[in-house]
Structure 1
Amino acid sequence: MREAGHAELRRSQVNLTRHLDTDGTRITELARRAAMTNAAMTELIDQCTACGLVERLADPRDRRARIVRFTPAGLAWLDAFGVAVAQAQQEMADEVGPEALRRMLRALGRYAGGDEGA
């Protein structure tokens, strides 16, 4: 990410970006998905807002609620992050073999309670 010009985000802040829908997500939903308090998630949102990656807007369905969404710079960061993840997976596949990587991703997906890598 640093080589792509995106060194501003720390690993802890990825906990926000990985749970954020591209069309925006309510703060309470982000906190629920990340298993964090609203206050802790709000701190991550503040940090990512200061970096210019996300913004807060009134929820069009409920003006009292706020949603968070990626800014154009945030969407560019998301694209670069996707490229970095694909590169890391390719490097791992080169090291351990594609079948071992698939098995590991399936196992990690089961462990995390999702279907990643399935």
Structure 2
Amino acid sequence: MKGRTISPGKASGAALVSRSPLSFYGGVDPKTGIVIEKGHELEGECVKGRVLVFPQGKGSTVGSYVIYGLKKNGVAPAAIVNQETETIVATGVILAGIPCVDKIDIGKIKTGDKVVVDADNGTVEIVQEIT
């Protein structure tokens, strides 16, 4: 799938997919990488080393620093894939050096799929689908 580069780099890993927006400030613990937003479909899941796939971010601009904190604490996602990356996520992934691509049809990706993100070229490839 061809999208738009938000933050360059290459990464791969198992996808962790949300069909709803994600808030990093108050939604993801920057020390553990665990989604703590009450009632969110990813509540209790850890983003560490995964390709985090969600439509777009939401919430406070402090979310950018939470993304940076995830990276600094060694619990960041390997890459982020969005339908539409808004300013909060864009700023965070650039500060943290996390590969990020948007303009992707995230409906084609399922949690557990092995995904390769080549943000240098704006591509996302599902290399192994879960059954």
Q: Shared topology, TM-score over 0.5?
A: no
Q: Which has the higher strand share?
A: 2
**TM-score with structure 2 setting the length:** 0.27
Q: TM-score, normalised by structure 1?
A: 0.28
Whose relative contact order is higher, 1 or 2, with alpha carbons under 8 Å and at least 6 apart?
2
- Per residue, is there more helix in 1 or in 2? 1
Structure of greater Rg: 1
